[in-house]
Amino acid sequence: MFRKILIANRGEIAVRIIRTCREMGIRTVAVYEASDRESLHVRLADECVQLPGHAGFMEPETLLAIAVERGVDVLHPGYGFLAEDANFIRACEGAGIAFIGPPAEVVAATSDKIGALEKVRAAGIPTVIHSTRSFGDDEFDDLTAEAGRLGFPLVIKSCSGGRGRGERLIARADQLAEVARRARMEARAVYGNSRLFLERAILPAHQIGVQIVADNHGNLVHLGDREGSIIHRNQKLVEEAPSLCLSPARRAALLDTALRVARLFNYQNVGTVEFLVDETGEFYFSEIKARIQIEHTLTEMMTRLDLVREQIRLEAGEPLGYSQPDIEIRGWAITCRLQAEDPARRYMPSPGHLRHVRLPGGPEVRVDTYLYCDSEVPAFYDPLIAKVTVWAADRPACIDRMRRALEDFAIIGAPTNLPLLMSIMRSPGFVDGHYTTDFLAGEVAAKPATDIEDVRRDLAVIAAVLYSRHHEAFVPRLPDQWATGWHRSSRQIR
């Protein structure tokens, strides 16, 4: 087993990895930059190294130099961009440092979005319909011709995507130029690569992911499905497992297909095979996420497996140790992503100092976060600050538990999307399970987080407290012992 690990990430995923490593007896090295000095992952790690700036998390040479200097024998990228960088994986191997994740050749194959789609389609597995090539900055005419061939509506995507950035819906031909320009700018800023490709949109749709785990001895299992169809800016906000949109027969077929796809790529370690499901229940392969995902906590609650521990074990060469019949998937789980952004102000990021933090707890409630009282939310990173995951025996009880957990949350110092999450949990569309990827554009956007009577009650209480404080008479009172004069006698000079 490994002796020391460098965690090439920050925030809640770094905290998550450190805790598992401590249980396994593996020493941890954390990296940070000045604005993140007081973050929880820095406080928990055995060793810490300051980066020259926040861009250091994206600099392979800097991270490898730290790894060599600190004598680590393995590196965990979390779910950062370097997690799917085949060149970085090869560089780690060249430096004699193990990389926790799939091998470089697997990452290279799955990161080739068009190539992966064509490989899966050639195997007879349905995929989304896509352009046969990608397009650079000076190939707008070719992009226009391909869009006309595929037909609208379309989705334009970054070739380096997988995190929702650089992805846009194009409803009509007259939107193509402007939407492509914005997608290209975002892709260049986020990934450093502005090449784009097209997919024919499936509307309405469900986003379904299947968690897979494989060793390097040929053993492969799935750990069930999860749905992440409640999205904003193509990033998931609320996810649940299992998905409601799949019948038992369709679920069995989808899970079997996910294993077939994984075998096509000789997949190893932990990853997710993703599909889109249309309104008739037909499913289409979309992509493979060759890394651990933010929503892995759902699967952990459903199976009671520690996926980070599994990642580390498998990279150390250990066999899987179980087969598909050994996997027990039970109950229901929901996770919500708490983000430092204000939905009431067009989701403006809200970094800052948190004067007070109260985290929810109780049976089957899990919070992954780097927050604590008097901590800072830096301005340079993704706004995700916490994940709340709950489990219950059935979906109604799970929703009730999530509502209670969100109500227990208290963060003072920066606006968050907590009111939006509470609205979603109370929305009839979510409660009934009738939602797709366009959910946030509908009923939730216009609804308050609580009933209007609760709002009026809370406002009345606030007004009463403010009135009382404003009008209270301040009468200073001296302690009784001061009347004895002992303090004056004690100061006499003798």
b/e sequence 93-124, b meaning 16+ C-beta within 10 Å? eeeebbbbbbbbebbbbbbebbebbebbbeee
The overall longest dimension of the chain from CA atoms, in Å, is 105
Q: How far apart are alpha carbons 344 and 395 in whole angstroms?
A: 29
Q: How far apart are alpha carbons 347 and 277 in whole angstroms?
A: 28
What phi and psi values does residue 376 have, to the nearest 5 degrees?
-115, 145
- Which stretches within 412-451 are classed as H helix? 418-426, 428-432
Burial class (CB in 10 A: 0-12, 13-18, 19+), 396: exposed
Catalytic position from the list 184, 195, 291, 337: 291
Torsion of CA 194, 195, 197, 201, to 10 degrees: -10
- Which stretches within 316-445 are classed as H helix? 395-408, 418-426, 428-432
Q: How far apart are alpha carbons 106 and 82 in whole angstroms?
A: 14
Query: What token pair was written down for 494?
Result: 């003798």
Assess whether 491 carries a catalytic annotation.
Answer: no
Q: How far apart are alpha carbons 211 and 375 in whole angstroms?
A: 33
**Active-site positions?**
291
